[in-house]
Structure 1
Amino acid sequence: MTSTRPTEAESPLDALPDLWRSLREAGPVTYDEAHGQWRVVDHQGVSAVLADPGACSSDLTPITPAQQDFETFLQGNFFGMDPPEHRTLRTLVSQAFTPGVVQGLEPRIEAVCARLLEGVADRDRFDLVDTLAHPLPIGVIAELLGIPADDQGLFQEWAAALFGGGRLGGSLDMADLERALEAIAPAVREMNGYVLDHIRHRRAHPGGDLTSGLLTAEVDGARPADEEIVGFVGLLLVAGHITTVLLGNAVVTFDRHPGTLVALRGNPGRLPDAVEEVLRRLPPFPEPGRRTTRPVVLGGHEIPADTLLMVHLGAANRDPSRFNDPDVLDVTRSSHPHPAFGHGIHFCFGAPPARLEARIALHMPMERFPTLAVPSYDDITYQNPAVSVGVRHLPIVVTRP
C-alpha cells in the first residue's frame, strides 16, 4: 500500500497547519470581529473551556437561530445539554449503549466492510468515501438500531443532508447558519417522523436492538421519552460522520507521507496509534461552540455572558507546548492528549465505535490491496470546513494480488 503521488501535489488540507499556526500566533484568546465571536486556540485554554460546563455551556439555543423541525431533534441531544439534564440522559443512554454492545459491533463492522469491498471487487478505481467511508458507519448504526435493511439508504441520505454544509460559508456565521437550518429542515422532519414510527413499533414489538434497549433504560424511575430517543439517533449519525471523515483523512494523510502505509502493513498493531495521530492532525469537527453563562476571564480578556466561544481543536492539537514536533506525522506516538473527541463530561460517547470502525476499515483494505493510492488531488472534493475537516469524495486506485 504505497503512494505514487508526487510530493509537490497540493491539497487544501495541506494549508491548515499554517492557518492554525497563525491563529495561535495571534494569541491564545482572540476576538473575531467579523463573526462576533471569541476564539480559543491553545491546548490549555481549549481543555479548560471544554471542562467547565458551568461557565461555558454547550446549550447554544439562547444565542442561535431557532428552527421548529429541530426542536424534537434537540430533545435527546445531550451534547448540547448541561447538568443535571445532561447527566440524566447520558446515564439513560449508557444503560443501553454499554461497552459490551460496542465490543459486539466488531463482527458487524467486519461483515459490513467486507460486503462493501466486495461491491468493488472487479474495479481498480473507485471513490473511497462513496464505497466505504460513508456507507460503513451508517449501515452499522442502522443495523444497531434495528432499522430494516431496505430503509438504510434513507439514513445515508439524511446524513448527507445534515453534514453537507452547502449553505454555510467557510466560518460560522449566524445568517449562514439560519439559512442552512432552513435548507436541511425537510430532511430533519422526515428523519424525525421515521424514527418516531420506528420507536413506537419497537414499543409494541421489542427486539434485541439498541432502540428496544433504550426504551427500557431507567434512572430514578424515569425513562427516556420517544423524542429524546430521536435526538440520540441524531447523535449516532454525528458519531457515524466522524468515522466517514476520519477514514478519508487517514488515506489522504498516509498518501501524503510515502512509506507510512508500508510501515503500518508491516506492523498493523500500530493502527490504533495511527488513527489517533490522524485525529490529532485533522479533527473532524474542528471548532465546537460554547456559550458563556456568566462573565469569564480567558487569556486576560473579560468576556461577557451569553457570548459565543469557538474552541479551535485544530489549532490546539498542533500546540507545540503540548505536542513535540506537532506538524510531523508520527504514527508511533503513544501519548495522545488531543481533544478531537471532546473533553470532560461531553467526551464523545461514539469515540469507541468510531475508533473500532476506523481500525477495521483501514486494516481490511491493507489486506486486500497490495497498493492503494490517490491518483489525482484535482479529483478530490472537500467538506465545508465550517462543518467538518475532510474529504467529501476521494477517488483512489488499487492493485490486487
Structure 2
Amino acid sequence: MTTIADKWNLHADHFWLRGRRPDRPVCFNTVTGMWNVYGYAEALRVIGEPRTFSSNTGRVIPERDEFSEGNLVQMDPPLHGKLRRLVSHAFTPKVVADLEPRIDAVARELLDAVGNQGRMELIGDLAYPLPVIVIAELLGVPADDRFMFKAWVDKLFSSSEQFSLTNRTEEQERRFEEITGEVRKLTAYLGEHAAERRRRPRADLLTRLVEAEVDGVRLTEAEVVNFANLLLIAGHITTTLLLGNTVLCLDAHPEQRARVRADRSLVPGAIEESLRMLSPFAVLARVNEEEVELGGARVPPEQLLMVWLSAANRDPAWFPDPDVFDPARDPNPHLAFGRGIHFCLGAPLARLEGRIALNILLDRYPGLRTDPGESPTFSPSPNMTGVTRLPLLLDD
C-alpha cells in the first residue's frame, strides 16, 4: 500500500507514517540525547501525569526559557490552571457555537474571492486566512495584519533539522537565534496592542489578559504577550493544517471522499481521522521529575521525553487497521489535541472551523482534487505534519 507519506516523500524519518511500527514503545536516541515515546499507552501516561512529567522544558533547554513566562504550553499546576481559566470562557461550547455564522461568512467571502478560475491554492486562499481572521478578531488585533503574522510564523517552523541536546551544531545555534528574533517581533507587536488596551480597554481577549489578576496580582507584560502569542499562533495553525490534511486525505482515498460527499454526517469523522493519521502537532515534550519505568525502559530523572503523538495515533493496540483512513472509525481516541490539563483549549473552535470550511468546499466544488501537475508543499519541521501549500483543481 502506497501511503500519503510515500507518495509525497513526507518526513522520511517518521517511519510510522509509512506503516512501520517501532521495535519498542519507548527508547533513547543517542544522537539527540532525548527519549522517544511512541506507544499510545505510554504517551497517554506522560501527558496525563503532570506531577511526574513536567511541561517546563526550559529547565533542560534554557534557550527556550525566554518566552516561557505566561506560556501555557510550558506551565505546570497550579499556575497553569489559574492562567487557563482566564481565557477558557472564550472557548466554551456556547461561545464557540455562536461563532458559527461569522466563520461561515468569512469562509464564503474568501472562496468568493477565488472566483471561477477553476483552481485554488487551499492554504493561502482559505485554510490560513479563515482561522487567523477569527482568532485575531477574538484577541482584538487587526485581521488585516495576517500577512505579517504569516511571515513570522512561517520562519518559526522553516527548519527541517531535528533538535539535539548532545550535538549542538552551528546551524542549530543559528536557528535558535533566528527563531528568537521572529518570536520577539511577534511579542513586540502584541506588546504594543497590550499597552494600547491599558489606555483604552475593549471587549476582547487581549483586554481581559491585561486586566486579569492571579491571586490578586496583575499579569506581567511578558506573561500577557507570551499568553497572547500562544493564542494567536496555536489559534490558527492547527485549523490551517487540519483543513489541508483532511482535503489531502480525502483526495488520497477517493472512495471515502465520495462517501463523505454523499453523507455529510461523516464530515466530523473525516476531520477526526485526518487528525489521527496526519497529526498537525506531531510531538510534545516533557521532562520527568523522577526516575520512571516507562514502556519497559528505565528513564533517569530530568530527561527530555519526546512524545510522538503522531506515532501513538497509529498504535495498532488502540486503532485497528491504523493505516486505513476511515471517516466512520469509532471509537477514535486520538491524541492530536493532547489530553488532560493541556488538552488544546481551541480544539472545539478548530473542529468547527474545519467542519464549516469542508462542507462549503464539498458543496461548491464537486470536482475538488489535487493538481497532478503541481505537488503540495509540506511543513519542513519534523515536529509538525501538514501541508503549507496545496494547489487544487475545482472543476469536473
Secondary structure of 1:371's aligned partner: coil
Query: Following TM superposition, by how much is the alpha carbon of 1:215 offset from its aligned partner in structure 2, in angstroms?
Result: 3.4
Aligned counterparts, 1:36-51, within 5 A: 36-51=33-48
Alignment of 1:173 with 2:170, yes or no, is no
Between the aligned partners of 1:375 and 1:144, the Cα distance in structure 2 is 35
Unpaired runs of at least 5, structure 1: 1-6
Between the aligned partners of 1:257 and 1:324, the Cα distance in structure 2 is 18
Aligned residues: 388
Cα distance 1:149–1:344, how it changes in 2: closer, same or farther (>3 A)? closer
Cα distance 1:107–1:213, how it changes in 2: closer, same or farther (>3 A)? farther
Secondary structure of 2:388's aligned partner: strand
Normalising by structure 2, what TM-score? 0.90
Cα pair 2:11 2:382 within 8 Å, conserved? no
Partner of 2:69: 75
Aligned counterparts, 1:2-401, within 5 A: 10-13=7-10, 18-19=15-16, 24-66=21-63, 71=66, 73-163=67-157, 165-166=158-159, 168-169=160-161, 171-174=162-165, 175=168, 177-236=172-231, 237-376=233-372, 379-399=375-395
Q: Match for 1:60: what amino acid?
A: T
Q: Match for 2:253: what amino acid?
A: H
Query: Following TM superposition, by how much is the alpha carbon of 1:45 offset from its aligned partner in structure 2, in angstroms?
Result: 0.6
Cα distance 1:106–1:178, how it changes in 2: closer, same or farther (>3 A)? farther
Cα pair 2:19 2:323 within 8 Å, conserved? no
Secondary structure of 1:310's aligned partner: strand
Secondary structure of 2:315's aligned partner: coil
Query: Following TM superposition, by how much is the alpha carbon of 1:61 offset from its aligned partner in structure 2, in angstroms?
Result: 0.5
Cα distance 1:228–1:101, how it changes in 2: closer, same or farther (>3 A)? farther
Between the aligned partners of 2:287 and 2:274, the Cα distance in structure 1 is 28
Query: Following TM superposition, by how much is the alpha carbon of 1:213 offset from its aligned partner in structure 2, in angstroms?
Result: 2.9
RMSD of aligned alpha carbons: 2.4
Cα pair 1:383 1:391 within 8 Å, conserved? yes
> Could you list the per-position Cα deviations for residues 215-261 of structure 1 after superposition, in whole angstroms to 9, with x for gaps in the alignment?
34445434433322212222221231111111111111111101222
Between the aligned partners of 1:396 and 1:9, the Cα distance in structure 2 is 20
Between the aligned partners of 1:148 and 1:207, the Cα distance in structure 2 is 13
Cα pair 2:337 2:347 within 8 Å, conserved? yes
Cα distance 1:66–1:349, how it changes in 2: closer, same or farther (>3 A)? same
Cα distance 1:223–1:53, how it changes in 2: closer, same or farther (>3 A)? same
Q: Which moved more, 1:313-322 or 1:209-218?
A: 209-218
Q: Equivalent pairs: percent with the same residue? A: 42
Cα pair 2:242 2:275 within 8 Å, conserved? yes
Secondary structure of 1:245's aligned partner: helix
Q: Which moved more, 1:307-316 or 1:104-113?
A: 104-113
Query: Following TM superposition, by how much is the alpha carbon of 1:154 offset from its aligned partner in structure 2, in angstroms?
Result: 2.1
Query: Following TM superposition, by how much is the alpha carbon of 1:282 offset from its aligned partner in structure 2, in angstroms?
Result: 0.9
Between the aligned partners of 1:378 and 1:65, the Cα distance in structure 2 is 41
Cα pair 2:22 2:38 within 8 Å, conserved? no
Cα pair 2:5 2:11 within 8 Å, conserved? no
Q: Match for 2:320: what amino acid?
A: N
Normalising by structure 1, what TM-score? 0.89
Q: Match for 2:224: what amino acid?
A: I
Cα pair 1:58 1:81 within 8 Å, conserved? yes
Between the aligned partners of 2:22 and 2:92, the Cα distance in structure 1 is 42
> Could you list the per-position Cα deviations for residues 181-202 of structure 1 after superposition, in whole angstroms to 9, with x for gaps in the alignment?
2112232222111111111212
> Could you list the per-position Cα deviations for residues 18-72 of structure 1 after superposition, in whole angstroms to 9, with x for gaps in the alignment?
53578743111111111111111111111001111112111110111416xx72x
Secondary structure of 2:273's aligned partner: helix
Structure ranking higher on relative contact order (CA contacts 8 Å, 6+ apart): 1
Partner of 1:4: none
Q: Match for 1:106: what amino acid?
A: E
Query: Following TM superposition, by how much is the alpha carbon of 1:14 offset from its aligned partner in structure 2, in angstroms?
Result: 9.6
Secondary structure of 2:254's aligned partner: coil
Secondary structure of 1:290's aligned partner: strand
Secondary structure of 1:232's aligned partner: helix
Deviation above 6 Å: which 4+ runs of structure 1?
Answer: 14-17
